[in-house]
A and B are shown apart, each in its own frame.
Chain A
Amino acid sequence: MQPIMIQLKGIHKTYFGAQPLHVLKGIDLNIAEGELVSIMGASGSGKSTLLNILGILDDYDEGEYHLAGTLIKNLSETRAADYRNRLIGFIFQSFNLIGFKTAVENVELPLFYQGVGRRKRHQMAMEELEKMGLTDWASHYPNEMSGGQRQRVAIARALATRPKIILADEPTGALDSKTGVEVMQLLQKLNREEKITMIIVTHDPGVASKTNRIIRIKDGVIEE
């Protein structure tokens, strides 16, 4: 048994709007180091909220969340940013590259926020791009690349800081099916070869079937 990477205990989350909305109703979940897991659920199931909490983008009301042995609770914005930077790599549905920066500058960005020097940063970013087979595209802007290439730049950016986990939100959602399959294969390979813990949020059963474990959420609770 691998050591536990993510441990959720009795997580509750309520959005207090005009009508209080109890979104997560006691989530218990353990994910071991090196696992490749998918989270599935219909819209409104609480899937996105769970992803926000896992990604330290949002706080929760009750319970405990341990990430790589660290309790993640009531963090200041600066601390949260620091943890996100060092522990988590994000892959988004719409890539979320910064349009006025070149591919390599995009990959450098998280390293910049880590305070890595200019030269070192560039070198590390180039290594990541090389792994993605994008060395020739390093000085191109995102709008000069195809969707698959952009998503690979985003993956390189997520990997640049050597995070503990990768959180992918619908990573193939904006890609055609052929490219989507290629991206999934890439993620699987990274999981297998680099032993990176990976959590993929998706509603695509085809994507979910490529993962080792599928976690289904319905009405704010896990039904495994």
Chain B
Amino acid sequence: MIELLSEIWQTTRRNKLRTSLTGFAVAWGIFMLIVLLGAGNGLLNASNENNDRYVDNSMMIFGGQTSKAYDGLKEGREIELDENDLQITQSRFTQNIDKAGAILNEGGATITYGENYVSSSLRGVYPMFAEVNKTKISTGRFINDIDIRDQRRVLVIPENQARELIPNNPRALLGKTVRVGDMAFTVVGIEQEDKSRMSSDVSVPFTTLKTIYNKGNHVGRIVFSFNGLESEADNEAFEKRYRATINRQHRAAPDDEESIWIWNRFTQALQMAKGTNIIQTALWIIGLFTLLSGIVGVSNIMLITVRERTREFGIRKAIGASPANILKIIITESIIITGFFGYIGMILGILANLYMDATLGSKPIETGLFTTTVFVNPTVGLGTCIAVTIVLIIAGTIAGLMPALKAARIRPIVALMAE
């Protein structure tokens, strides 16, 4: 092997310019592949981070408008979800549904503490809301079951709104009594600020809000977490069953798809994952096609090399080199050229990714309502580097194969021909 390598060094050294020009094409191909994959990863990581705000296996149900006439009633009726629906959601689907709750919203609430006040809106929630929405509490606690049972006047306020009330030390608001409109509420928790979301509401117990604001039988939106629905088909079947059940309560056609709206975060995540795969495959294909021109280049110079060294290979064969020996020389040379320049491309690509990470990756974009980052960690992993190495070896072999076969077929008689 050492012999083979020193021999390849001896021969490529003679054609520095030619070898490096061809090598550039390979390096460029790999560079593009790495940069594309890195940028792709950056975009996907950013979108994943956005989607990560919710627990995947949860659904949210909204009331809609019937689209079909049914049971003697015309289409176009508003459907509002009520206590009965929540009850059914909790009791009839125990096989799949873990925890169910509802969310009621009440806008235009002014929260006052001493001289300071802040305009906000309220949402009546169940304790499970914190899990589904991955709410992070910086101090205190979230709404609990006792709050719901006793209809306590407690609230959880986002940190940025707490700052309006006690500018220097928002967390000191914990345990204090604030006024919401005319009523006194106790602050039991402060919610961590999340800049990637639009301004958050103040959370109060669902039952409290319902009673205070006279919501009657209405429950707003139903939200629940579920389990055991692994495939898209499972989810569809479940949604169909659930829809039919709820529709029947409202005298709507069981197959009416507009009477209620189901937002299934799990199927959404499945589709995202599918989309991610498609994007990544597409990036690989683009990168590999870029690399292809490099491979053709290497193949081409290897052909020229074989032509130039015809006599030498003839001599080698005359003094005892087998076709396999000759094949090995050319293929190894091809792999080394491809691999060497490929790695240069790979290192440059990784550096470009690091540069992207340092510039775009750490620059949040302010939309006014929320901030977001276009690129999150736009780099490739070790797995990609290993995959690229394998690609390079395969590419080098393919590039060298035809010239090598040609070299192996050279007849030793050429050694006897006069120059």
Contact = CB atoms under 8 A, between A and B. Distances in A.
Contacts of B10: 100-101
B317 interface: yes
A85 interface: yes
B118 interface: no
A81 B322 contact: yes
A81 B321 contact: yes
A136 interface: no
A113 B319 contact: yes
Contacts of A77: 322-323
B333 to A, nearest CB: 13
Interface string B314-327: 01111111111100
Contact of B318 (A84, A112, A114): A84
Contact of B419 (A90, A94, A114, A118): A94
Contacts of A19: none
Interface stretch (A33-41, A48-56, A123-131, A216-224): A48-56
Given A78-B324, A82-B320, A100 B415 contact: no
A171 interface: no
A113 B321 contact: yes
B319 A85 contact: yes
B387 interface: no
Interface residues of B, number: 25
A221 B50 CA distance: 90
A151 to B, nearest CB: 14
Nearest to A49: B413
Interface in A51-68: 51-52, 55, 57-58
Contacts of A92: 315, 415-416
A104 B258 CA distance: 88
A90 B415 CA distance: 10
A58 B414 CA distance: 11
A52 B413 contact: yes
Contact of A94 (B316, B324, B418): B418
A84 B315 CA distance: 12
A82 B318 contact: no
A142 B343 CA distance: 36
Chain B residues touching A, majority SS: helix
Contacts of B2: 118
Contacts of A169: 416
B324 A113 contact: no
Contacts of B144: none
A57 B11 contact: no
Contacts of A46: none
User: Of residues A81, A84, A85, which shows the largest number of chain B Cβ atoms within 10 Å of its Cβ?
Assistant: A81
Given A98-B312, A112-B3, A118-B3, A57 B416 contact: yes
A98 B320 contact: no
B419 A109 contact: no
A57 B3 contact: no
Nearest to B319: A110
Contacts of B413: 52, 57-58
A15 to B, nearest CB: 12
A188 interface: no
A185 interface: no
B322 A82 contact: yes
A93 interface: yes
Interface in A64-98: 77-78, 81-82, 84-86, 90, 92-94, 96, 98
Interface in B1-59: 2-3, 10-11, 14
A13 interface: no
B101 interface: no
Contacts of B317: 81, 84
A192 to B, nearest CB: 25
A57 B318 contact: yes
Interface string A154-195: 000100010000000100000000000000000000000000
Nearest to B320: A85
Given A98-B315, A101-B10, A48 B416 contact: yes
Given A85-B320, A110-B319, 4 more contacts: A57-B415, A81-B317, A90-B319, A101-B10
21 contacts: A51-B416, A57-B411, A57-B412, A57-B415, A57-B416, A81-B323, A82-B320, A84-B319, A90-B318, A92-B315, A92-B416, A94-B418, A94-B419, A98-B312, A100-B10, A100-B14, A101-B10, A109-B319, A112-B3, A113-B325, A118-B2
Identify the 6 closest CB pairs spanning chains A and B, nearest first.
A85-B320, A113-B320, A81-B322, A78-B322, A110-B319, A96-B315
